[in-house]
Amino acid sequence: MTTEIDRIKLRRWRKRGFYSETVLVKLLQKKGYNAVRVPVSNPSLNPLPDVMARKGKHMYAFEVKNASYYAYFPRVQIDKLFRFLNELIPSDNQNKHAVIAAHLGKRWIFKEITWADWEKNKLPDKVRILKRDRGNLNIDTSYQQNP
């Protein structure tokens, strides 16, 4: 039985995710990316990311979490990023990027998950990003990796 307090907490939790996704889209657009939030990226079985972005020939699928100190990304959500890129983006894998993005206060940490891990079925059960971590993806330069 759901109480009114539970419904309020759920709404607040969803707004946090919506807020971070919207902030990421604006940040990417400011950096010259074509970016859009996918409004139906809720916890479904469809292979849809929270945010899609493109710069040059590079395509990015982002899973976004809003947290204060750490964020967890379950395997099923990471797998959906690869399925989206694999099934719906006709390009070489070197130009397609599956990225988990943690919005930790004012700080963003981006971590790209490798195609090799997905293709060999070696995705971890979950990936954790801590506020003190460093990401492995710089959105200012990542699209220049393969000129």
Check which CATH number belongs to the domain holding 96 and give it.
3.40.1350.10
In a domain, 147, yes or no: no
Q: Are 38 and 48 in contact (CB under 8 A)?
A: yes
Structure tokens at 33: 């990316």
Structural domain span for residue 22: 4-138
Q: Give pLDDT tens digits for 27-65.
A: 999 999 999 998 875 566 788 999 999 999 999 999 999
Q: What is the mean pLDDT of residues 83-102?
A: 95
For the entire predicted model, the pTM comes to 0.85
DSSP 68: S
Three state DSSP letters for 9-50? HHHHHHHHHHHHHHHHHHHHHHCCCEEEECCCCCCCCCCCCC
Name the domain count of the chain.
Answer: 1
In a domain, 109, yes or no: yes
Q: Is 117 exposed, middle or buried (0-12, 13-18, 19+ CB in 10 A)?
A: middle
In a domain, 143, yes or no: no
In a domain, 144, yes or no: no
